[in-house]
Amino acid sequence: MSKKVKKTADSKEKKASYVDEDQKDNPKVAAGGDVRADTREEECGEEQSADTVDPMADLQSQLDIANDKYLRLSAEFDNYRKRTLKEKMDLIKNASEEVMKSVLPLVDDFERALKSSHLSTDIEAMKQGLVLIYSKVLDFLKSNGVNEIEAVGLELDTDLHEAVSKIAVDDKKQKGKIVDVVEKGYKLNDKVIRFSKVVIGE
């Protein structure tokens, strides 16, 4: 009987000696505590801390991101607006520059005609020179989309014509129609830039 008791005691001592070397320094192991239970408690604590994220902090983070995107888009739009405005101003400036360049040859023709009028007594030649200049002016206007509005012989069209007076006519066919033009009207492409001032027959 004493031999069996001795063997049991020796077995317990051997098991105790087999404690993991990594756990020797653990105070709970040294104190005889349950290491596995403590590990489970730590894992549960980490899971709880991960689940309990501050909602206000998360909302603030989303707000900061959205605000940053807004500021970037606002800056980009402002730069785009300034760039397109500059391009528009440059386009208008360059367009008027081209028109002015086209006018200069007409100015040269008028200057030459004026000089010739002081030196020449040939009235017919002067008239032909003026007719030539006038023709060039009309060609210039047409090349830039400006065309004369037809009027004489047509019925009054308030979208194109402005009646300034009436005159009695013998021909019944001319009654209610335009018989004379006081001032010609013009259109730039399809837009009226000056109404024709006309006289209506009655």
Q: Kindly tell me if the per-residue pLDDT of 155 is higher than 70.
A: yes
Average pLDDT over residues 78-93: 87
Give the contacts of 30 (CB within 8 A, at least 6 positions apart).
24
Q: Kindly tell me if the per-residue pLDDT of 74 is higher than 50.
A: yes
User: Which of 58-64's residues contact partners 24+ apart within 8 Å by CB, and which partners?
Assistant: none
Q: Kindly tell me if the per-residue pLDDT of 9 is higher than 60.
A: no
Range of the domain at 195: 147-202
Q: For residue 177, which of 153, 148, 149 has the smallest C-alpha distance?
A: 153
Which amino acid is present at 42?
Answer: E
Report the CATH number that the domain containing residue 165 is assigned in CATH.
2.30.22.10
Total number of domains constituting the chain? 2
Residues 178-199, buried b or exposed e (16+ Cβ, 10 A)? bbebeeebebeeeeeeebbbbb
Which secondary-structure segment (H or E) carries 157? none
| 160 contacts 192 by C-beta, under 8 angstroms | yes
Q: Kindly tell me if the per-residue pLDDT of 30 is higher than 50.
A: no
Say if residue 110 is in the same domain as residue 97. Answer: yes
Q: Kindly tell me if the per-residue pLDDT of 28 is higher than 60.
A: no
Average pLDDT over residues 155-165: 92
pLDDT in tens, 117-133: 777 777 888 888 888 88
Domain end: 144, 159, 193, which one?
144
Does 164 map to a domain?
yes
Spatial separation of the C-alpha atoms in residues 149 and 198, rounded to whole Å: 11
pTM for the model: 0.51
Say if residue 130 is in the same domain as residue 77. Answer: yes
Taking the alpha carbons at both ends of the chain, their separation in whole angstroms is 153
pLDDT confidence of residue 98: 78
| 192 contacts 149 by C-beta, under 8 angstroms | yes
Q: Kindly tell me if the per-residue pLDDT of 83 is higher than 70.
A: yes
